[in-house]
Amino acid sequence: MPLQAYPPAPASLSGDLLTINRMLASPTAISRRLRELTDIQFVADQLLLAKYRSSGGAVAYEINDQPLFTNRSITAVAPGSEYPRALPLSGTAALAQVKKWGQATELTDERIKRSVPMGSAIDWALRIVINTLIQKIDRLTIAAIVSAVNATPITATAAWSNLATATILRDIELTKAAIDGQEMGYKADTILMTNTKYAYMVSDDKVAQLRKRETTDNPIYGGTIETIADLKVIKTPVANMPGGTDSVWVLDSHALGGLADETDLDPGYASAENGIQVQTDRIKNRDAWNVWARRLTVPVVTDPLAARQISGT
């Protein structure tokens, strides 16, 4: 009689269909899958890096539109004398309401069984609801930035589509100078543009001549420029811009503001690091699963002077 192994092997699931349905019923397994979908990212979280903790469905913040100086100038202090007192300039108090943004879709048993490979149906369901959610949050955030920033735009030398007269790098540097020169402690680190403006920038002859040539990270090989003028390049579809305006923005992502999320998880939800929460529910009498995603958040712009538009591009 053969000897029995000790300790005995743990119980295991057998069969793709059983494994997939067990995963859909497990928030832990869905959370793990969300972490693997690394290509799904918010533009909003790259523009507003600060994180705020909401309380009672709202977030209180201060709009910093005053210089980082006191209300009086520095004077000489005589030996043994007290230092002159001054008051810091405070901003305007504001309150923003956190809202729940989300959407659901349906994943049928037939779609699960007929997809190749079988597990791809789960990724499909997660991607469509998450991508739709990301599109909404990104549009809300960009609209909040555009509406809050009222500084005079920097006018481009010429339209970026004009290869002969456009000075893209100079336009960017002048906009950086306008932000950094306000003595507010800002340092521009990000540039936001549409896909069309990115295409003009990456193919501009003057920009190309200033880049290293004998290297494989040149855009002619990879087709991408990740940074220009020490700014992180973020591109977005023109539909995400308010009114469909094909504009360019330079900003300090660390100072401009942030997103206030309600991060407390309700029962049954799986979560991702980007604030997305997902839950599933079995519809037994319809041979299907409900899959929905949500994010409880609100974009907050605290420093409207930390961004500037480049007009006429």
How many CA within 13 A on the CB side of residue 194? Answer: 18
Region 50-69 average pLDDT: 84
Of the candidates 311, 182, 178, the one whose C-alpha atom is nearest the C-alpha of residue 248 is 311
Q: How far apart are CA 82 and CA 22, in angstroms?
A: 72
The pLDDT value recorded for residue 178 is 96
pLDDT of 13 strictly over 50? no
Provide the token pair at 184.
């507010």
Contacts of 129 (CB under 8 A, 6+ apart): 103, 104, 105, 278, 291, 292, 293
The pLDDT value recorded for residue 90 is 78
pLDDT band at residue 308 using 50, 70 and 90 as cut-offs: very high
The pLDDT value recorded for residue 1 is 55
Question: Residue 55 class from Cβ within 10 Å (0-12 exposed, 13-18 middle, 19+ buried)?
Answer: exposed
Least confident residue range of 8-12, 62-66, 114-118, 153-157 = 8-12
The pLDDT value recorded for residue 14 is 46
The radius of gyration computed from the CA coordinates of the chain, to the nearest angstrom, equals 26
Of the candidates 233, 272, 231, the one whose C-alpha atom is nearest the C-alpha of residue 39 is 272
User: Would the CA dihedral through 122, 106, 294, 254 be positive or negative?
Assistant: positive
pLDDT of 220 strictly over 80? no
Of the candidates 261, 309, 310, the one whose C-alpha atom is nearest the C-alpha of residue 145 is 309
Helix, coil or strand: residue 106: strand
pLDDT of 7 strictly over 70? no
pLDDT of 9 strictly over 60? no
**What average pLDDT does the chain have?**
87
User: Residue 6 has what DSSP assignment?
Assistant: S
pLDDT band at residue 233 using 50, 70 and 90 as cut-offs: very high
Beta strand 190-194 pairing with 231-236: parallel
pLDDT one-digit tens code per residue, 81-140:
999 888 877 788 899 999 999 999 999 989 888 887 777 888 888 989 999 999 999 999
User: Residue 31 has what DSSP assignment?
Assistant: H
User: Residue 10 has what DSSP assignment?
Assistant: P
Region 202-219 average pLDDT: 78
Least confident residue range of 59-73, 167-181, 266-280 = 59-73
The pLDDT value recorded for residue 91 is 82
Q: Give the distance from CA 234 to its chain's centroid.
A: 10
Is 307:251 a contact under the CB 8 Å cutoff? Answer: yes
pLDDT one-digit tens code per residue, 30-59:
888 888 776 678 999 999 999 888 878 899
Whether the bond between 7 and the residue before it is cis, its omega within 30 degrees of 0, is: yes
Question: What domains appear along the chain, each with residue ranges and CATH number?
Answer: 18-66+91-311 (3.90.1690.10)
The model carries a pTM of 0.85
